[in-house]
Chain A
Amino acid sequence: MIQLKDITKYYASGFARTFVLRHIDLEIKQGEFVSLMGPSGAGKSTLLYIIGMLDEASQGEYYFLDTPVHTCNERQRTELHQQNIGFVFQSYHLIDDLTVYENLETPLLYKKVKSAERKSLIAEMLDRFQIVAKKDLFPNQLSGGQQQLVAVARALIIKPKLILADEPTGNLNSKQGEEIMALFTQLNREGTTIIQATHSEKNAGYSGRIINLLDGTIIDQ
């Protein structure tokens, strides 16, 4: 499903380059549950963002479902991303000005899903995550755990083939964290590919494969 060949990412700072990722080769198959591990600054998030097409590699090739992402233009990437990828962040990143309902609706609007279908999909999600009562609240009226539930629901609503999660439980207490991880496990069983970046050995334990990063290179998988 995902094939990275010699991916390198650096930032130019003056004449020097700061490397974040160096020569990453990686293949992830459909249905895998992968954890990216490593200390802060190892490049976990950057790799996740590149896979999620939210960032571009400085060099190297990236194939997503056999499409060469590195040659796509912005519109094609948006299309690919919009149809297939759901993203979950440590700090939730819900849109403050929109209600829970509207936050869930946003990806469907961008995907140009018809109104009636949107309604049923949102209802299904609200039901599944037991947040029906919260649908008219704004993000700042919810607890952290509830916000992350909404964020996961928002990621899932487009029925993505791939879920990318960047420290999804980082801001949650342990019980809320366990719930999220249980959810991921179940989604993975239903066939969704999941890649998460995490510090936590415990969270990594839920996954089927662990990739260790240090200073931008894969040291162990």
Chain B
Amino acid sequence: MFAAYLKTAWRNLVRHKGYAFINIFGLALGLALAILIALYVELELSFDRFHTHYHRIHRVEVNYDNKERFLAFSQTPIGPALARDYPEIVRYTRFLNMANQVLLYASEEKKYYESRGWWADAQFFQVFSYRFLKGDAESALAEPNSIVLSAELAAKYFGSENPIGKIIRYENTIDCKVTAVVQDCPANSHIQYDFLISYDSYKAIAGNDYLDNWTRIANYTYVILSEKALLPDVNAKIRSLLQPQLPPNVEMPVYLKPLSQIHFSPRVLGEPGPTGDVDRIRFLMLIAAAILLLGCINFMNLATARSARRAREVGIRKTVGASRAGLIRQFFSESLVVALGALVLALILAQLCLPVFNALLGRQLAWTWQNIPVLGPWILALTLLIGVVAGSYPALFLSSLQPAATLRSTAGRGHQAVIRKVLVVFQFVISIVLILCTWIIYRQIDYMQNRDLGYNHEQILTTTFRRMDAATISRYETLKNELLNHPAVLTASISRFIPSFNGSSTAIRGWEGSAPTDQLLVNLNLIDERFLETYGIPLLAGRGFSAVAREDTNRYCLINETTAKRLGWSDAVGRRIGPALVVLGVVKDYHYASLRFGIEPMLLFPMPRTPQASRAYNMLSVKLSGENIKETVQAIQEKYERLFPGDVFEYHFYDEGFEWMYRDELRMAQTVAYFTVLAICISLLGLVGLASFMAEQRTKEIGVRKVLGSSVAGIVLLLSKEFSKWVVVAALIAWPIGYFTMKNWLQSFAYRSEIGIAVFLLTGLLALALALATVAYQSVKAALADPVKSLRYE
């Protein structure tokens, strides 16, 4: 019997290829998206679970201002202190980040800049479980000057040779022996690295006292709790751990965060790797569900549209002995065949779209032997569910028809037409809401990118300094001075950060007029005397740094307007912050972060020239005149490579940084845009099917109207009017939904574009135009048909 059902189902599909295509393709698009999002969700939920001690690993975090600033890193001596004083803490590990890019050198031919390295202590592999391909967890980082490579890096530097025992030179300073090779970091690890060097080796670079310093907050510490330890108890005990190290009146609570909560915890500063976003997952799942629903609606709609025809078959089958249960089974097996067909197509589509999807989400999703057994059953169950949902209408409604009625006339037409209208309107509501979202997101990004940021960022070339040893500082100054003499260079500046990126902050206390407990969190930058000129940042009061001796670096600072406002100073120049720091001038506020955030207080210090401050020499900004850019860049490169032989000159134009700054928003916009196109495609596919059906159904009416003298244009209008009505209704429903959704989204931006009425009207018109263009072909075809033929046919 089942074979007979399948046979009918198959014949039905083949006979009505157009309908079959719309059904299967629409469902497949939705399913493909669902599969991709399932892969994504699976990855997100599996983060860090591969560690053997997953449930017992915790990260030491500090609440920096005892308010809303939480740091993923902490003071270097915290780890040993915890292990010494608290028996609940069984083990700890510490690691520290390296500069953005470091040069690794295996031989003259094999030297590359690497950006994913950490200084990690000997316990690292006792706490975390990464798979060793060569070497072992105990000895890997036990000795100073050991380096552990990922499989990828080992292959890059040593090819097929055995890398164990080989030497890699770090930044021309230390020679490290390769002690182990681990499997590349899994995509679902929140700690991402390509290589690790012994923690103690860092002392050789930074000085012995660096790592025992309670004032430095830069170090990641993870601990393993004992089996019996309860997190709230431990957290209560360690809360005031830092108190002895801090000035009175200042609190900086310490707490442990379980590894299981790291991936989805609200943003803490300085996460060592990718974090997840529960809202984004929910949002993606919601959209996937909506798009899947659109596919199901197509299926139901076309099934009801064709039900008059199928009703006759139901009548016949009942006449020759079919029971209702048999017919229900038949219709369900048909829709299951369609759903399974869609699944096959969806798997192919998902595979093809995987690279695009990965780029959109910034993840490396792939099918693996771990996720196939997890996801497979879910996807299959989802497919079956879709089959059942999509097939429910024909199965339950059609099978209930009385054969006497179906064999003599058409059944239940009015009733179905209402359902169809509701479903089509619903589809358009989803499409219009998505178009609105896309539009408003892009407008917001455009607004942020084009808003006056308060400084000039055109024609500025930036490069990052790679070396931080004291000896090279003078060479940086030489480079800058040489560039200033170049005719196509307007000005050049060395600073810790460029305006669009700021990575350092501190709390200030004891300014003139403050209460003893007052403190203010401020961002910091170190700049030379040409920074303000290079970026065109106006000085509102006081003086710049050109008049100040560089050696007085801790005595003078510039502040921005916001700082002055927060400190309650109307006249800031000459005022003091703390006992020694004098405000030299006030600069106009400028946006130094994404416009998602407002302008915060900012302190600018003069660039120190002392060797200890070599870390401050980070960025070189060169303002070009705009003529002969190519030659100028080449000249800069030559100078650079002459001064720093062996280094590779890499540069960016400042404006490129904006894309990076808004990459989350851009990704979101692209994601929504793709989904919108998908949703529109599915809805329009459904409309094509429906339009062709309606034109077919109204052949006779059109014939009669033409005989009575209606023009072709009149007929097209008649057929289009119906669809237009649906779109208008959909727009009226979609507008408020889109408005409130996007208003909510825009709330998270400190600076937002206005949502105008025009966006809504244009979105509605766009949907209408798409719908009419889609039905136009069918309408015109029906209108042009010979009336004599259509009437005689009846």
Chain A residues within CB distance 8 Å of chain B: 45-46, 49, 52, 54-56, 74-75, 78-79, 81-82, 87, 89, 93-98, 102, 105-107, 109-112, 154, 158
A102 x B320 contact (CB < 8 A):
no
A89 x B404 contact (CB < 8 A):
no
Q: How far is the CB of B16 from chain A (nearest CB, A)?
A: 10
A160 and B276 CA atoms in complex are apart in Å by 69
A54 x B319 contact (CB < 8 A):
yes
Chain B: which residue is nearest A82 at the CB level? Answer: B321
Q: How far is the CB of A25 from chain B (nearest CB, A)?
A: 21
A205 and B312 CA atoms in complex are apart in Å by 32
A95 x B322 contact (CB < 8 A):
no
A75 x B323 contact (CB < 8 A):
yes
Residues of B within 8 A of A110 (CB): 317, 320-323, 326
A172 and B583 CA atoms in complex are apart in Å by 108
B404 x A49 contact (CB < 8 A):
yes
Interface string of B316-355 (1 = CB under 8 A from A): 1111111111100000000000000000000000000000
Q: How far is the CB of A140 from chain B (nearest CB, A)?
A: 11
B404 x A95 contact (CB < 8 A):
no
Residues of B within 8 A of A75 (CB): 323-325
Residues of A within 8 A of B407 (CB): 54, 89, 93
Chain B: which residue is nearest A55 at the CB level? Answer: B404
A-B contact pairs, 12 of them (CB 8 A): A54-B319, A54-B402, A54-B407, A55-B405, A78-B323, A82-B321, A93-B315, A93-B319, A95-B313, A95-B317, A107-B321, A110-B317
Residues of A within 8 A of B1 (CB): 109, 112
Q: How far is the CB of B142 from chain A (nearest CB, A)?
A: 75
B403 x A54 contact (CB < 8 A):
yes
Known: A54-B404, A55-B403. A97 touches B8 (CB 8 A): yes
Residues of B within 8 A of A107 (CB): 320-321
Cβ 8 A contact of A55, one of B12, B312, B402? B402
Q: How far is the CB of A75 from chain B (nearest CB, A)?
A: 6
A97 x B11 contact (CB < 8 A):
yes
A93 and B320 CA atoms in complex are apart in Å by 10
Residues of B within 8 A of A154 (CB): 320
Known: A98-B8, A102-B7, A107-B321. A93 touches B316 (CB 8 A): yes
Interface positions, chain B 394-430, Cβ under 8 Å from A, are 402-405, 407-408
Having A82-B321, A97-B8, one finds 13 other A-B pairs with CB under 8 Å, namely A46-B404, A54-B315, A54-B402, A54-B407, A75-B323, A93-B315, A93-B407, A95-B316, A97-B12, A97-B15, A98-B11, A106-B4, A158-B321
Residues of A within 8 A of B323 (CB): 74-75, 78-79, 82, 110
Interface positions, chain B 373-409, Cβ under 8 Å from A, are 402-405, 407-408
Interface positions, chain B 1-58, Cβ under 8 Å from A, are 1, 4, 7-8, 11-12, 15
Chain B residues within CB distance 8 Å of chain A: 1, 4, 7-8, 11-12, 15, 312-313, 315-326, 402-405, 407-408
Q: How far is the CB of A126 from chain B (nearest CB, A)?
A: 17
A97 and B12 CA atoms in complex are apart in Å by 7
Q: How far is the CB of B194 from chain A (nearest CB, A)?
A: 61
Lowest 6 A-B CB distances belong to which pairs?
A55-B404, A82-B321, A110-B321, A49-B404, A97-B11, A107-B320
Chain A: which residue is nearest B13 at the CB level? Answer: A97
Residues of B within 8 A of A94 (CB): 316
A109 and B1 CA atoms in complex are apart in Å by 6
- Looking at B15, B313, B321, the one whose CB has the most chain A CB atoms below 10 A away is B321
Q: How far is the CB of A54 from chain B (nearest CB, A)?
A: 4
Residues of A within 8 A of B4 (CB): 102, 105-106, 109
Residues of A within 8 A of B325 (CB): 75
Chain A: which residue is nearest B320 at the CB level? Answer: A107
Q: How far is the CB of A89 from chain B (nearest CB, A)?
A: 7
Residues of B within 8 A of A78 (CB): 318, 321-324
Chain B: which residue is nearest A111 at the CB level? Answer: B321
Residues of A within 8 A of B8 (CB): 95, 97-98
Chain A: which residue is nearest B5 at the CB level? Answer: A109
Q: How far is the CB of B398 from chain A (nearest CB, A)?
A: 14
Q: How far is the CB of B778 from chain A (nearest CB, A)?
A: 23
B319 x A87 contact (CB < 8 A):
yes
Known: A97-B11, A109-B1, A110-B326. A54 touches B316 (CB 8 A): no
B324 x A74 contact (CB < 8 A):
yes
Q: How far is the CB of A100 from chain B (nearest CB, A)?
A: 14
- Looking at A75, A97, A98, A154, the one whose CB has the most chain B CB atoms below 10 A away is A97
Q: How far is the CB of A40 from chain B (nearest CB, A)?
A: 12
Q: How far is the CB of B410 from chain A (nearest CB, A)?
A: 14
Residues of A within 8 A of B321 (CB): 78, 81-82, 107, 110-111, 158
Chain A: which residue is nearest B7 at the CB level? Answer: A102
Residues of B within 8 A of A74 (CB): 323-324
Known: A81-B321, A110-B323. A45 touches B408 (CB 8 A): yes
Residues of A within 8 A of B322 (CB): 78, 110
B404 x A93 contact (CB < 8 A):
no
- Looking at B317, B319, B404, the one whose CB has the most chain A CB atoms below 10 A away is B319
B11 x A54 contact (CB < 8 A):
no
Chain A: which residue is nearest B318 at the CB level? Answer: A54
Q: How far is the CB of B320 from chain A (nearest CB, A)?
A: 4
Known: A97-B12, A97-B15. A52 touches B319 (CB 8 A): yes
A93 x B326 contact (CB < 8 A):
no
A56 x B319 contact (CB < 8 A):
no
A153 and B104 CA atoms in complex are apart in Å by 87
Residues of A within 8 A of B313 (CB): 95-97
Chain A: which residue is nearest B1 at the CB level? Answer: A109
- Looking at B8, B320, B325, B405, the one whose CB has the most chain A CB atoms below 10 A away is B320
A110 and B321 CA atoms in complex are apart in Å by 6
Residues of B within 8 A of A105 (CB): 4
Chain A: which residue is nearest B403 at the CB level? Answer: A54
Residues of B within 8 A of A112 (CB): 1
A55 and B8 CA atoms in complex are apart in Å by 26
Q: How far is the CB of B77 from chain A (nearest CB, A)?
A: 80
Residues of B within 8 A of A45 (CB): 408
